[in-house]
Amino acid sequence: MPQEQAIQENMEKQESHGKKGVLGYLPVSFFGACMGLSAMCVAWHAMSELSSLSLSYSAKSPEHDVLGVVQTSLAPFAELFSLIFAVFAVAAFVALGIAYSIKAMTSFESCKQEFLSPITRPFFGTICISLLLLPFALQRLGIPEIISLIVWILGAALMLIFSVHIVQFWICHKFELAHITPAWIIPVVGLLDLPLVLPIFSQIQALPDLGFFITIFCMAVGFSFTVVLCTLIFARIVFFAKLPDKLMPTLVVLLAPFGAGVSTHVVFASMQALMMKLDSQAFALDFMPYILFFLGLFLLLALLPQIVQIRKCCPFRISWWAISFPLAAMCIASIKINIGILRFLNTGLPTSFKFSMHTLVTIFSILSPILLLSVTLIFAWLIVRTLLGIFRGELQNLA
Protein backbone atom coordinates (compact mmCIF):
# COMPACT_ATOMS: atom_id res chain seq x y z
CA MET A 1 0.00 0.00 0.00
CA PRO A 2 1.26 3.56 -0.70
CA GLN A 3 1.25 4.66 2.96
CA GLU A 4 2.98 1.47 4.05
CA GLN A 5 5.68 2.02 1.44
CA ALA A 6 6.03 5.61 2.65
CA ILE A 7 6.73 4.36 6.16
CA GLN A 8 9.42 1.97 4.92
CA GLU A 9 11.01 4.73 2.81
CA ASN A 10 10.91 7.14 5.75
CA MET A 11 12.63 4.61 8.00
CA GLU A 12 15.26 3.93 5.33
CA LYS A 13 15.94 7.68 5.04
CA GLN A 14 16.44 7.89 8.78
CA GLU A 15 18.84 4.94 8.62
CA SER A 16 20.83 6.66 5.84
CA HIS A 17 21.05 9.80 7.96
CA GLY A 18 22.06 7.64 10.90
CA LYS A 19 25.17 6.43 9.10
CA LYS A 20 26.65 9.93 9.20
CA GLY A 21 28.65 11.13 12.17
CA VAL A 22 29.86 9.35 15.31
CA LEU A 23 27.14 7.05 16.70
CA GLY A 24 24.69 8.59 14.23
CA TYR A 25 22.96 5.23 13.94
CA LEU A 26 22.09 5.06 17.67
CA PRO A 27 18.26 5.21 18.05
CA VAL A 28 16.71 7.19 20.88
CA SER A 29 14.43 4.19 21.50
CA PHE A 30 17.44 2.44 23.08
CA PHE A 31 16.59 4.34 26.29
CA GLY A 32 13.71 1.86 26.59
CA ALA A 33 16.35 -0.54 27.95
CA CYS A 34 16.88 1.77 30.96
CA MET A 35 13.14 1.78 31.60
CA GLY A 36 12.95 -2.00 31.54
CA LEU A 37 16.05 -2.55 33.71
CA SER A 38 14.82 -0.08 36.34
CA ALA A 39 11.41 -1.77 36.37
CA MET A 40 13.00 -5.20 36.89
CA CYS A 41 14.96 -3.77 39.82
CA VAL A 42 11.59 -2.80 41.34
CA ALA A 43 10.02 -6.17 40.51
CA TRP A 44 12.68 -8.22 42.30
CA HIS A 45 12.70 -5.86 45.29
CA ALA A 46 8.92 -6.24 45.53
CA MET A 47 9.32 -10.02 45.32
CA SER A 48 11.53 -9.84 48.41
CA GLU A 49 8.71 -8.14 50.32
CA LEU A 50 6.18 -10.58 48.90
CA SER A 51 8.27 -13.53 50.09
CA SER A 52 8.26 -12.34 53.70
CA LEU A 53 4.51 -11.70 53.59
CA SER A 54 3.91 -15.15 52.09
CA LEU A 55 5.88 -16.76 54.90
CA SER A 56 3.79 -14.92 57.49
CA TYR A 57 0.55 -15.87 55.72
CA SER A 58 1.58 -19.54 55.41
CA ALA A 59 2.28 -19.66 59.15
CA LYS A 60 -1.30 -18.52 59.83
CA SER A 61 -2.84 -20.68 57.08
CA PRO A 62 -1.01 -24.04 56.87
CA GLU A 63 -3.22 -25.11 53.95
CA HIS A 64 -1.41 -22.50 51.84
CA ASP A 65 2.05 -23.58 52.95
CA VAL A 66 2.94 -24.72 49.42
CA LEU A 67 2.41 -21.19 48.12
CA GLY A 68 4.66 -19.88 50.87
CA VAL A 69 7.39 -22.30 49.85
CA VAL A 70 7.16 -21.20 46.20
CA GLN A 71 7.44 -17.51 47.09
CA THR A 72 10.06 -17.80 49.83
CA SER A 73 12.29 -19.99 47.64
CA LEU A 74 12.94 -16.85 45.60
CA ALA A 75 13.77 -14.73 48.67
CA PRO A 76 17.55 -15.45 48.73
CA PHE A 77 17.85 -14.26 45.12
CA ALA A 78 15.38 -11.36 45.18
CA GLU A 79 17.61 -8.68 46.72
CA LEU A 80 20.64 -9.84 44.72
CA PHE A 81 18.78 -9.71 41.39
CA SER A 82 17.27 -6.34 42.34
CA LEU A 83 20.78 -5.00 42.96
CA ILE A 84 22.11 -6.47 39.70
CA PHE A 85 19.31 -4.88 37.68
CA ALA A 86 19.90 -1.57 39.51
CA VAL A 87 23.56 -1.61 38.45
CA PHE A 88 22.60 -2.42 34.85
CA ALA A 89 19.95 0.35 34.82
CA VAL A 90 22.30 3.08 36.06
CA ALA A 91 25.18 1.90 33.85
CA ALA A 92 22.91 1.74 30.79
CA PHE A 93 21.51 5.22 31.38
CA VAL A 94 24.95 6.77 31.88
CA ALA A 95 26.37 4.99 28.81
CA LEU A 96 23.39 5.88 26.61
CA GLY A 97 23.31 9.46 27.91
CA ILE A 98 26.95 9.93 26.91
CA ALA A 99 26.52 8.10 23.59
CA TYR A 100 23.41 10.04 22.56
CA SER A 101 25.04 13.32 23.56
CA ILE A 102 27.95 12.46 21.26
CA LYS A 103 25.46 11.66 18.51
CA ALA A 104 23.69 15.01 19.05
CA MET A 105 26.99 16.88 18.75
CA THR A 106 28.45 14.97 15.79
CA SER A 107 25.29 13.97 13.91
CA PHE A 108 22.71 16.60 14.74
CA GLU A 109 20.88 16.01 11.48
CA SER A 110 20.18 12.41 12.49
CA CYS A 111 18.72 13.55 15.83
CA LYS A 112 16.66 16.16 14.01
CA GLN A 113 15.25 13.54 11.63
CA GLU A 114 14.29 11.34 14.58
CA PHE A 115 12.52 14.23 16.29
CA LEU A 116 10.70 15.42 13.18
CA SER A 117 9.33 11.99 12.27
CA PRO A 118 5.87 11.21 13.69
CA ILE A 119 7.01 7.58 13.98
CA THR A 120 10.17 8.12 16.04
CA ARG A 121 9.35 11.38 17.89
CA PRO A 122 7.35 9.58 20.63
CA PHE A 123 10.45 7.55 21.55
CA PHE A 124 12.04 10.70 23.02
CA GLY A 125 9.64 10.10 25.89
CA THR A 126 11.77 7.09 26.88
CA ILE A 127 14.48 9.50 28.09
CA CYS A 128 11.98 11.23 30.39
CA ILE A 129 10.53 7.97 31.70
CA SER A 130 14.04 6.60 32.32
CA LEU A 131 14.70 9.60 34.57
CA LEU A 132 11.41 8.98 36.38
CA LEU A 133 12.26 5.33 37.10
CA LEU A 134 15.99 5.71 37.76
CA PRO A 135 15.52 6.76 41.43
CA PHE A 136 14.43 3.19 42.20
CA ALA A 137 17.83 1.92 41.05
CA LEU A 138 19.67 4.78 42.76
CA GLN A 139 17.95 3.95 46.04
CA ARG A 140 18.98 0.28 45.78
CA LEU A 141 22.58 1.41 45.23
CA GLY A 142 22.51 3.58 48.36
CA ILE A 143 22.69 6.92 46.53
CA PRO A 144 21.53 9.85 48.75
CA GLU A 145 17.83 10.56 48.50
CA ILE A 146 18.37 14.19 47.48
CA ILE A 147 20.12 13.07 44.27
CA SER A 148 17.27 10.69 43.44
CA LEU A 149 14.78 13.49 44.08
CA ILE A 150 16.64 15.87 41.75
CA VAL A 151 16.71 13.19 39.03
CA TRP A 152 12.97 12.61 39.48
CA ILE A 153 12.13 16.34 39.40
CA LEU A 154 14.11 16.70 36.18
CA GLY A 155 12.33 13.70 34.66
CA ALA A 156 8.91 14.91 35.83
CA ALA A 157 9.43 18.38 34.34
CA LEU A 158 10.66 16.96 31.02
CA MET A 159 7.83 14.40 30.93
CA LEU A 160 5.15 17.04 31.48
CA ILE A 161 6.67 19.41 28.90
CA PHE A 162 7.09 16.65 26.34
CA SER A 163 3.56 15.31 26.90
CA VAL A 164 2.04 18.75 26.33
CA HIS A 165 4.26 19.24 23.28
CA ILE A 166 3.38 15.89 21.70
CA VAL A 167 -0.38 16.44 22.09
CA GLN A 168 0.00 19.89 20.59
CA PHE A 169 2.03 18.31 17.77
CA TRP A 170 -0.75 15.78 17.09
CA ILE A 171 -3.47 18.45 17.14
CA CYS A 172 -1.68 20.96 14.91
CA HIS A 173 -0.49 18.59 12.17
CA LYS A 174 -2.20 16.24 9.79
CA PHE A 175 -1.18 12.59 9.91
CA GLU A 176 -1.87 9.46 7.94
CA LEU A 177 -3.22 6.36 9.68
CA ALA A 178 0.08 4.68 8.76
CA HIS A 179 1.94 7.06 11.08
CA ILE A 180 0.21 5.64 14.16
CA THR A 181 2.25 3.02 16.02
CA PRO A 182 2.09 1.61 19.57
CA ALA A 183 4.98 3.97 20.43
CA TRP A 184 2.43 6.82 20.42
CA ILE A 185 1.43 5.55 23.86
CA ILE A 186 4.83 6.45 25.34
CA PRO A 187 4.70 10.28 25.64
CA VAL A 188 1.29 10.94 27.19
CA VAL A 189 0.33 7.62 28.77
CA GLY A 190 3.89 7.66 30.12
CA LEU A 191 2.60 10.17 32.69
CA LEU A 192 1.34 7.11 34.58
CA ASP A 193 5.00 6.41 35.40
CA LEU A 194 5.52 9.86 36.94
CA PRO A 195 4.07 9.10 40.44
CA LEU A 196 5.53 5.59 40.79
CA VAL A 197 8.63 6.64 42.70
CA LEU A 198 6.86 9.03 45.12
CA PRO A 199 6.61 6.55 48.03
CA ILE A 200 10.41 6.34 48.37
CA PHE A 201 10.76 10.09 49.03
CA SER A 202 10.37 11.13 52.65
CA GLN A 203 9.62 14.70 51.51
CA ILE A 204 6.56 13.51 49.58
CA GLN A 205 5.44 11.29 52.45
CA ALA A 206 5.46 14.41 54.62
CA LEU A 207 3.27 16.17 52.02
CA PRO A 208 0.71 13.50 51.03
CA ASP A 209 -1.67 16.10 49.57
CA LEU A 210 1.01 17.04 47.00
CA GLY A 211 1.60 13.39 46.15
CA PHE A 212 -2.15 12.83 45.87
CA PHE A 213 -2.56 15.78 43.50
CA ILE A 214 0.35 14.63 41.29
CA THR A 215 -0.96 11.06 41.18
CA ILE A 216 -4.58 11.91 40.42
CA PHE A 217 -3.50 14.33 37.67
CA CYS A 218 -1.31 11.70 36.01
CA MET A 219 -4.00 9.03 36.29
CA ALA A 220 -6.61 11.34 34.76
CA VAL A 221 -4.45 12.19 31.74
CA GLY A 222 -2.81 8.77 31.37
CA PHE A 223 -5.96 6.66 31.48
CA SER A 224 -7.94 9.06 29.27
CA PHE A 225 -5.32 8.98 26.53
CA THR A 226 -4.96 5.20 26.92
CA VAL A 227 -8.53 4.83 25.65
CA VAL A 228 -8.00 7.24 22.76
CA LEU A 229 -4.62 5.94 21.62
CA CYS A 230 -5.40 2.24 22.00
CA THR A 231 -8.50 2.80 19.84
CA LEU A 232 -6.42 4.51 17.14
CA ILE A 233 -3.70 1.85 17.25
CA PHE A 234 -6.17 -1.01 16.98
CA ALA A 235 -7.95 0.78 14.13
CA ARG A 236 -4.65 1.09 12.25
CA ILE A 237 -3.65 -2.56 12.83
CA VAL A 238 -7.06 -4.11 12.18
CA PHE A 239 -8.40 -1.95 9.32
CA PHE A 240 -5.31 -0.53 7.67
CA ALA A 241 -2.17 -2.67 7.61
CA LYS A 242 0.11 -4.56 9.95
CA LEU A 243 3.14 -2.82 11.37
CA PRO A 244 6.44 -2.96 9.47
CA ASP A 245 8.62 -5.83 10.70
CA LYS A 246 11.04 -3.42 12.38
CA LEU A 247 8.22 -2.08 14.55
CA MET A 248 6.62 -5.41 15.48
CA PRO A 249 8.26 -5.51 18.97
CA THR A 250 6.52 -2.22 19.82
CA LEU A 251 3.18 -4.07 19.88
CA VAL A 252 4.05 -5.11 23.44
CA VAL A 253 3.95 -1.43 24.44
CA LEU A 254 0.15 -1.87 24.50
CA LEU A 255 0.60 -3.69 27.84
CA ALA A 256 2.36 -0.76 29.52
CA PRO A 257 -0.69 1.36 30.50
CA PHE A 258 -2.29 -1.57 32.29
CA GLY A 259 0.81 -2.79 34.11
CA ALA A 260 1.97 0.70 35.08
CA GLY A 261 -1.64 1.66 35.82
CA VAL A 262 -1.83 -0.89 38.65
CA SER A 263 1.33 0.47 40.28
CA THR A 264 0.08 4.05 39.89
CA HIS A 265 -3.18 3.07 41.53
CA VAL A 266 -1.23 1.57 44.45
CA VAL A 267 0.55 4.92 44.89
CA PHE A 268 -2.81 6.70 44.66
CA ALA A 269 -4.27 4.46 47.39
CA SER A 270 -1.28 4.99 49.68
CA MET A 271 -1.35 8.78 49.19
CA GLN A 272 -5.10 8.85 49.78
CA ALA A 273 -4.65 6.81 52.96
CA LEU A 274 -1.93 9.17 54.24
CA MET A 275 -3.90 12.30 53.40
CA MET A 276 -7.23 11.12 54.80
CA LYS A 277 -5.78 8.86 57.51
CA LEU A 278 -7.49 5.79 56.10
CA ASP A 279 -6.49 2.13 56.23
CA SER A 280 -4.31 1.59 53.17
CA GLN A 281 -5.05 -2.16 53.29
CA ALA A 282 -8.48 -1.38 51.77
CA PHE A 283 -6.59 -1.33 48.44
CA ALA A 284 -7.06 -5.10 48.31
CA LEU A 285 -10.84 -4.58 48.04
CA ASP A 286 -10.58 -2.05 45.20
CA PHE A 287 -11.59 -3.58 41.87
CA MET A 288 -9.65 -1.17 39.65
CA PRO A 289 -6.20 -2.84 40.00
CA TYR A 290 -7.70 -6.22 39.17
CA ILE A 291 -9.52 -4.85 36.13
CA LEU A 292 -6.35 -3.18 34.83
CA PHE A 293 -4.19 -6.23 35.46
CA PHE A 294 -6.53 -8.73 33.85
CA LEU A 295 -6.99 -6.45 30.83
CA GLY A 296 -3.22 -6.41 30.50
CA LEU A 297 -3.02 -10.16 31.00
CA PHE A 298 -5.63 -10.72 28.30
CA LEU A 299 -3.66 -8.52 25.90
CA LEU A 300 -0.47 -10.39 26.80
CA LEU A 301 -2.11 -13.70 25.91
CA ALA A 302 -3.46 -12.19 22.67
CA LEU A 303 0.00 -10.84 21.76
CA LEU A 304 1.89 -13.96 22.81
CA PRO A 305 1.87 -15.51 19.30
CA GLN A 306 3.19 -12.24 17.89
CA ILE A 307 5.89 -12.08 20.57
CA VAL A 308 6.97 -15.63 19.71
CA GLN A 309 7.06 -14.81 15.99
CA ILE A 310 9.04 -11.57 16.39
CA ARG A 311 12.30 -13.44 15.98
CA LYS A 312 11.14 -14.87 12.64
CA CYS A 313 9.87 -11.62 11.12
CA CYS A 314 12.40 -9.31 12.74
CA PRO A 315 15.95 -10.47 13.55
CA PHE A 316 17.31 -9.13 16.83
CA ARG A 317 17.55 -5.36 16.86
CA ILE A 318 17.70 -2.64 19.49
CA SER A 319 13.93 -2.24 18.97
CA TRP A 320 13.48 -5.55 20.78
CA TRP A 321 14.06 -3.66 24.04
CA ALA A 322 10.58 -2.19 23.51
CA ILE A 323 9.18 -5.38 25.05
CA SER A 324 11.19 -4.98 28.26
CA PHE A 325 9.32 -2.32 30.23
CA PRO A 326 5.75 -3.48 29.46
CA LEU A 327 6.59 -7.05 30.53
CA ALA A 328 8.35 -5.84 33.67
CA ALA A 329 5.39 -3.57 34.46
CA MET A 330 3.05 -6.57 34.29
CA CYS A 331 5.33 -8.45 36.72
CA ILE A 332 5.28 -5.53 39.16
CA ALA A 333 1.48 -5.24 38.85
CA SER A 334 1.02 -8.92 39.71
CA ILE A 335 3.38 -8.70 42.69
CA LYS A 336 1.83 -5.45 43.98
CA ILE A 337 -1.66 -6.95 43.89
CA ASN A 338 -0.37 -10.05 45.64
CA ILE A 339 1.28 -7.92 48.34
CA GLY A 340 -1.94 -5.95 48.83
CA ILE A 341 -4.00 -9.11 49.27
CA LEU A 342 -1.53 -10.67 51.73
CA ARG A 343 -1.32 -7.51 53.81
CA PHE A 344 -5.10 -7.46 53.97
CA LEU A 345 -5.27 -11.13 54.97
CA ASN A 346 -2.67 -10.58 57.68
CA THR A 347 -4.79 -7.86 59.35
CA GLY A 348 -7.04 -8.51 62.30
CA LEU A 349 -10.29 -8.32 60.35
CA PRO A 350 -12.86 -11.13 60.74
CA THR A 351 -12.04 -14.36 58.89
CA SER A 352 -15.44 -14.43 57.17
CA PHE A 353 -14.65 -11.06 55.58
CA LYS A 354 -11.38 -12.43 54.20
CA PHE A 355 -12.67 -15.76 52.96
CA SER A 356 -13.24 -14.66 49.37
CA MET A 357 -9.66 -13.33 49.18
CA HIS A 358 -8.05 -16.75 49.62
CA THR A 359 -8.79 -17.75 46.02
CA LEU A 360 -7.22 -14.54 44.73
CA VAL A 361 -4.08 -15.00 46.81
CA THR A 362 -3.74 -18.53 45.46
CA ILE A 363 -4.01 -17.33 41.85
CA PHE A 364 -1.55 -14.47 42.26
CA SER A 365 0.88 -16.49 44.39
CA ILE A 366 1.25 -18.87 41.45
CA LEU A 367 1.12 -16.23 38.72
CA SER A 368 3.63 -13.75 40.21
CA PRO A 369 6.69 -16.06 40.36
CA ILE A 370 5.92 -17.54 36.93
CA LEU A 371 5.70 -14.09 35.34
CA LEU A 372 8.79 -12.80 37.13
CA LEU A 373 11.00 -15.78 36.28
CA SER A 374 9.84 -15.85 32.64
CA VAL A 375 10.44 -12.13 32.14
CA THR A 376 13.82 -12.36 33.91
CA LEU A 377 14.91 -14.98 31.39
CA ILE A 378 13.83 -12.66 28.56
CA PHE A 379 15.86 -9.84 30.11
CA ALA A 380 18.88 -12.09 30.51
CA TRP A 381 18.70 -12.95 26.80
CA LEU A 382 18.26 -9.29 25.80
CA ILE A 383 21.25 -8.22 27.93
CA VAL A 384 23.52 -11.00 26.69
CA ARG A 385 22.54 -10.52 23.05
CA THR A 386 23.01 -6.74 23.24
CA LEU A 387 26.40 -7.00 24.97
CA LEU A 388 27.56 -9.57 22.42
CA GLY A 389 26.49 -7.24 19.62
CA ILE A 390 28.43 -4.35 21.20
CA PHE A 391 31.60 -6.43 21.76
CA ARG A 392 31.42 -7.80 18.21
CA GLY A 393 31.02 -4.31 16.76
CA GLU A 394 27.53 -5.09 15.46
CA LEU A 395 25.75 -2.21 17.20
CA GLN A 396 25.21 -0.28 13.96
CA ASN A 397 23.55 -3.30 12.34
CA LEU A 398 21.44 -3.94 15.44
CA ALA A 399 20.31 -0.32 15.44
- Whole-number percent of the chain with pLDDT over 90: 44
Q: How far lies 23's CA from each of 8, 17, 66, 107, 250, in Å?
A: 22, 11, 52, 8, 23
Domain boundaries, the chain: 2-343+356-398
User: What does the pLDDT read at residue 70?
Assistant: 57
Q: Is the pLDDT of residue 315 over 80?
A: no
How big is the chain by its Cα radius of gyration, in Å? 21
Closest CA to 319 of 387, 394, 275, 382: 382
- Which homologous superfamily does the CATH classification assign to the domain defined by 2-343+356-398? Voltage-dependent anion channel (1.50.10.150)
For the ranges 23-32, 267-276, 367-376, which has the lowest average pLDDT?
267-276
pLDDT, one tens digit per residue, over 327-353 is 999 999 999 988 888 887 776 555 555
Q: What's the average model confidence in pLDDT over 80-88? A: 94
Residues with Cβ within 8 Å of 343's Cβ and at least 6 positions away in sequence, in order, are 53, 281, 284
pLDDT(248) > 60: yes
The pLDDT score that the predictor gives to residue 18 is 43
pTM for the whole structure: 0.88
Kindly report which listed range (129-138, 139-148, 284-293) carries the lowest average pLDDT score: 284-293
Residues 6+ apart with CB under 8 A from 124: 28, 114, 115, 162, 187
How high is the mean pLDDT of the chain?
A: 83
Under the banding of pLDDT at 50, 70 and 90, the label for residue 67 is low
